[in-house]
Amino acid sequence: MNILAISGSLRAASTNTSLLRAAATLAPSGVTITIYDGLDDLPHFSPERDVEPAPDSVSRLRTQLRQADAVMICTPEYIHGMPGVLKNMLDWLASSGEFVYKPVSVISAGPSASGGSRAHALLFHTLEVLTAHLPEGASLIVPSVKMRLNGHGEITDPVLAQELKSVIDSLVNAVQASPAIG
């Protein structure tokens, strides 16, 4: 089973990307979590650019999503919303439909007590509009994230590691329970 993990942060030292890297090490056997590294390459979305052939970076994204059994998105909150780069990516997928019925895990993480809950809610809603499958138990808000990772971006809080494992399990169960949709 292949899960594509997308971080909403472009920062090299991103805590959100660190959580996805940690998730990759927590995945059960038979489940591969691959970090998407093309967010920074996507052009600004415009309906006039959304024609065939799509820009290479957009084609690559769409292919990777089509080949993924499920998706994990982990994002920080910027100005009470999701980062523009993440929303830009979702705009490229509105017409092509890769998220339709796709099991998606929505995670937000931030240094504050809210853990990016407003970005989480907005991302969740956008994915609902794209008719993604948002399985129960596959959602997570991670407050105080900087206190729960070490300097190498590894999880030091066993509660967080357990929560992340549980998110992955819920996502995997959702894939196993859903009919194959090509």
Ligand X SMILES: Cc1cc2nc3c(=O)[nH]c(=O)nc-3n(C[C@H](O)[C@H](O)[C@H](O)COP(=O)(O)O)c2cc1C
Nearest to 77 by CA among 66, 67, 86: 86
Residues 33-52 that bind ligand X (CB under 6 A): none
Q: How far is CA 174 from the centre of its chain?
A: 16
Residues 84-123 that bind ligand X (CB under 6 A): 110-112, 114, 116
Whole-number minimum distance, CB 111 to ligand X, in Å?
A: 5
Residue of minimal Cβ distance to ligand X:
76
The contact mask relative to ligand X for 122-161 (x = CB under 6 A, - = no) is ----------------------------------------
22 binds ligand X (CB under 6 A): no
Which of 21, 39, 76, 164 binds ligand X (CB under 6 A)? It is 76
80 binds ligand X (CB under 6 A): yes
Q: Work out the number of other CB atoms within 10 angstroms of the CB of residue 23.
A: 24
Which of 15, 64, 105, 126 binds ligand X (CB under 6 A)? It is 15
Token representation of residue 23: 């998730």
Whole-number minimum distance, CB 83 to ligand X, in Å?
A: 8
**Residue the block writes with tokens 């980062």:** 83
44: exposed, middle or buried (Cβ count in 10 Å: 0-12, 13-18, 19+): exposed
* Cα separation values, 22 from 35, 40, 62, 80, 133, Å: 11, 21, 24, 25, 23
CA dihedral 137, 76, 129, 165 (to 10 degrees): -20
Residues ≥6 apart with Cβ < 8 Å to 102? 65, 68, 70, 71, 132, 133
Token representation of residue 75: 């994002």
Whole-number minimum distance, CB 11 to ligand X, in Å?
A: 4
16 binds ligand X (CB under 6 A): yes
Q: Which is nearer to ligand X, 8 or 135 (CB)?
A: 8
Q: Which is nearer to ligand X, 133 or 148 (CB)?
A: 148
Could you list the residues that contact ligand X (CB under 6 A)? 9, 11, 14-16, 76-80, 110-112, 114, 116
